[in-house]
Amino acid sequence: MPDGAIGERPGSARGRTGRPPLTGERRAEIRLEIARAAVELFVTQGVTATTGDQIARAVGLSTRTLWRYFPGKESCVSPLFAAGIDAIAAALRAWPVGAPLEDALEQVSTNGEGTMAMPEPPRVRTLLRLTRTEPGLRAVWLQAHDEAEPAFARALADRAGLGAVDLRSEIQAAMLNAALRAAVEHYAWHTDEAEPDPATARAELAGTIRSALIVAADGIA
């Protein structure tokens, strides 16, 4: 039996040998390592040509272990797509009354906690371009934004001093979420084909996000 000796119950004293259980923090780190490796493989050789075996080998895991973290190869990038949701929600709660939305979110959107997990913007751009032709990758990208919206609505309701999310908060969150998605997609799909240096790419992405937030702020403020 692969999980223990014959006659022993899983979790028995003799069955608990080997490595201790991973902490939640370490599991999150491993998920990010897998995500970065998947991005590199997807953008260099394409999604179709990339296998789960290759992603697993890139981070020193078995393929069986990889599938314990993610249900499919496209979903391996989901931690990067979802990066920053908590940081943006926290910034929304702390958004000072009367302050521009783009100022409140600028650090999170360009240099904050969420983007520290991301590859350099040129890689992000290439990955986002793949979502136009890879349905599985597109589904993961849209799912990340679907999960972000309730978090943004809750944060906006908290900022307004509400005990529960109301319709206004939900609409505001949907507008913000759409603006952020549109900004990143615009950056990915409408910038030059030439690969910019990372500093230039970061500036271009930051400017695009800021412009989108200015437009969204008219309906959120």
pLDDT at position 122, please?
Answer: 73
pLDDT at position 192, please?
Answer: 66
What does the pLDDT look like over 2-23, one tens digit per residue?
333 333 333 434 444 556 677 8
pLDDT band at residue 72, thresholds of 50, 70 and 90?
Answer: very high
Q: Tell me the mean pLDDT in the region 43-70.
A: 96
Q: Tell me the mean pLDDT in the region 198-219.
A: 84
pLDDT at position 137, please?
Answer: 95
- List, in sequence order, the alpha helices (H) in 73-166: 78-81, 85-93, 101-110, 113-116, 121-130, 135-159
What does the pLDDT look like over 92-138, one tens digit per residue?
999 998 889 888 887 776 555 554 455 666 788 889 999 999 999 99
pLDDT at position 7, please?
Answer: 36
- How big is the chain by its Cα radius of gyration, in Å? 20
pLDDT at position 31, please?
Answer: 94
pLDDT band at residue 152, thresholds of 50, 70 and 90?
Answer: very high
What does the pLDDT look like over 156-194, one tens digit per residue?
999 999 999 999 999 999 999 999 999 989 988 887 666
Q: Tell me the mean pLDDT in the region 193-208.
A: 76
Q: How many CA atoms lie within 13 A of 76 on its CB side?
A: 30
Going by C-alpha positions, the residue among 99, 105, 115 that lies closest to residue 212 is: 105
What SS3 class is residue 122? Answer: helix
What does the pLDDT look like over 75-90, one tens digit per residue?
999 998 888 888 899 9
For residues 81 and 147, is the Cβ–Cβ distance under 8 A? no
